[in-house]
Chains A and B, each alone.
Chain A
Amino acid sequence: MLEVKGLHARVEGKDILKGLDLTVRAGEVHAIMGPNGSGKSTTAHVLAGREGYEVTAGSVLFDGKNLLELEPEKRACEGIFLGFQYPVEIPGVSNLTLLKAALNARRKYRGQPEIEATDFLAWVRDRAKLVKIDPKMLSRGVNEGFSGGEKKRNEILQMLILEPRLMILDETDSGLDIDALKIVADGINALRSPERATILVTHYQRLLDYVQPDYVHVLAGGRMVRSGGPELARELEEKGYGWLEAA
């Protein structure tokens, strides 16, 4: 589904990614861990197409298509979803407006008609229940006045509504209380299917207890320095990253 090869990327003249490789097949869950500043968010943003990141070498294929030449909104329409480490507040644009515009953009991209207003509201209500968000909150501005945990749950809600094929979640588990973590994990698991894949960027084993990864990678210095199974995450939790760099 996703094939990243030898990816080099820079931000503001600074090389951040230095030859990153990653292959994700449909149905898989990959966890990316690694020290602060190692390039995890950069990787997520380059995949999602955020402006300001210059790809200097390497390739990214999504279902065989060259992802790097697509605008961010086209990538989203192709089925990529990025859960932001720091979700943005947009006062004046309601959550519902965002969701409806996003949903219809996708449908248009696929040549489908716009969704009926009543179907839309029923769908949103149904999904909101999964993440225990009061639908009334959705009439407010996007993330406006949401607590840190509510913002993260809102990311998951958007994901549940848009039903992407590749979910990239950048530290969606950070700053969550135990109950919220469970809700977020349930949301992710609800979308797990043989057709979909997930990339979890995380610092903690906790999330991985709820969402079992198939692969765990350690990103350091802009490259994957180690890949393994779920046991690698537990090892990291115990030993930290020092032993990897030393090795």
Chain B
Amino acid sequence: MSLAAYTEGFEQFAAGLPAGQRSARREHYERFLKAGFPTPKIEEWHYTDLAPLGERRFSPAAEGGAVPTAALLAGADRLVYVNGKLDQAHSTAAARHGENPLLTDGDSVTALNAAFATGGLSLRLSRNERLPRPLQVLTVGVAGNAPAMVHQRHRIELGENAEATVLFQFLGQGAERLTSHVVEVELAPGARLTLYRVQDEHADATLLTRIDATLRRDSRLETVAVDCGAGLVRHDFNVALAEPGAEVALAGLYQPAPGGHVDNQTRIVHAAPHCRSREQFKGIIDAKAKAIFVGKVIVQPGAQKTDSEQRVANLLLSRKAEVNAKPELEIYADDVKCAHGATVGQLDDKALEYLRSRGIAADAARALLLRAFGAEVLDQLAIPALRDRLAVRMGLAVEDIFEETVGETAE
């Protein structure tokens, strides 16, 4: 594998860094260089081959570009990045931007990210502090003159009993791009974080995200992840339930657009007793799209009274659709409750027929059934404007998701 173009890019990038930072960055880069991009030979990358990236030439993105203002959420504070650079004009929470320490280091992708990373969200809440509004971190990739790469580091640290809702949104437009985001999350005892991750990438883009979260006593992490883009997308979700009473709930809905490839890998480590984990992932897969879900749950020795549940359901819209769903449980404690289940199904023809026989057009009937399938996850996204927009984007919109109050008002 020739990574010459990356080395060239790195030298250029390193030259622009303050002298004191160069050697640390070089160490990260060397480690990436040594390992190269992951190939399917590595177990965790069985379904996603990044080797072809080695032959590509990406330069650190220089140009900015226009912000799709329709994506800006009302009622939220915002950090907006265009090609990795903070867009001051559209950011209402620019003070939350910062350089972050390069703590997480794991596979070669993370090393690559560490070598090139620029800053990102840097959210630190002190004890009992609460974000009054959701914080939208919108990252936009726009076409430049040459294939570009963007690597960002984000960090969220919530003090005791602090609370926040953060939305990471990855949007891409034309042109070849390589983007990686590493998000580090530290939740102090009793802290609560709601994390949304929404991806709508362009077909020529590669997006690699990784969230590493450590949860202390009685803290809670709740996430909803939605994927609807067409790019080559890989998400790693690593959660350590480090102290008793910690709780994580991961929900995901993926519906890759034609040509899209979405690989979700979750790794939940129950390192302490009395922790709870919930995973609920749903996929809608059409021909020419590919989705992967691998959910690893590790219950360490001593993590008694672990309560863990993983549910995966995939809906195939075509015989040619490709999906892989795999639970991986490693349990080293004996007094635990670990449930998991994976299903694969098709749209119910009988239900479609029934709806059509009542006068509902075929495409509307399909949308009703898809919405019913995805709703369990999508409805957990507690930002209605975004949720409704995603429903439309994914063909799950039902015109009248009206309040069903007939029962209450009946005499």
Interface residue ranges, A against B (CB under 8 Å): 48-51, 71-73, 76-77, 82, 84, 87-94, 96-98, 100-102, 104-106, 109, 117, 121, 124-125, 128, 134-139, 141-142, 158, 162
Q: Given A93-B372, A135-B410, A139-B404, do A105 and B357 touch, yes or no (CB 8 Å)?
A: no
Which residues of A are found within 8 Å of B357, using beta-carbon distances? Answer: 48-50, 72-73, 76, 82, 84
Q: Does B135 contact A (CB under 8 A)?
A: no
Main secondary structure of the interface of B (DSSP, over half): helix
The 8 Å CB contact of A105, one of B360, B372, B375, B404, is: B360
CA distance A49 to B368 in the complex (A): 20
* Nearest chain B CB to A15 CB, angstrom units: 22
Instruction: Find A100's partner among B351, B373, B400 (CB 8 Å cutoff).
Output: B400
CA distance A109 to B158 in the complex (A): 55
CB neighbours of B400 from chain A (8 A): 97, 100-101, 104
In the complex, are the beta carbons of B359 and A135 less than 8 A apart? no
Q: How many A-B residue pairs have CB under 8 A?
A: 117
Interface of A (DSSP majority class): helix
Asked whether B195 is an interface residue with its Cβ less than 8 Å from the other chain, the reply is no
Q: Name the CB-closest residue of B to A86.
A: B350
Q: Cα distance A48–B368 when bound, in Å?
A: 21
CB neighbours of A125 from chain B (8 A): 406, 409-410
CB–CB B351/A71 < 8 A: no
Complex: A121 Cα to B373 Cα, angstroms: 25
B410 & A76 in contact (Cβ 8 Å cutoff): no
B interface, how many residues as a size bin? 20 to 34
Whether A90 pairs with B360 at a CB distance below 8 angstroms is no
Residue of B nearest to A103 (CB): B359
Which residue of chain A lies nearest to B376 when distances are taken between CB atoms in the complex? A92
Give bound CA distance, A104 to B351, whole Å: 19
Q: Report the minimum CB–CB distance from A64 to chain B (whole Å).
A: 21
Quick one: which of B348, B354, B364 has the most chain A CB within 10 A? Answer: B354
A84–B358 Cα distance when bound, in Å, is: 11
Contact at B398–A97, with CB atoms within 8 Å? yes
User: A51 with B404: in contact, given A73-B361, A73-B362, A92-B375 (CB under 8 Å)?
Assistant: no
The minimal Cβ–Cβ distance linking B354 to chain A, given in whole angstroms, is 4
User: In this assembly, does B356 line the interface, its C-beta being within 8 Å of a C-beta of chain A?
Assistant: yes
Per the bound structure, the CA–CA distance linking A29 and B376 in Å amounts to 44
Are A158's CB and B358's CB within 8 A? yes
A158 to B368, CA, bound (A): 18
- CA distance in complex: A91, B372 (Å): 7
Q: Is the CB of A77 within 8 A of B405?
A: no
Smallest beta-carbon distance B372→chain A, Å: 3
Contacts of B375 in A (CB 8 A): 92
**B358 engages A96 (CB within 8 Å):** no
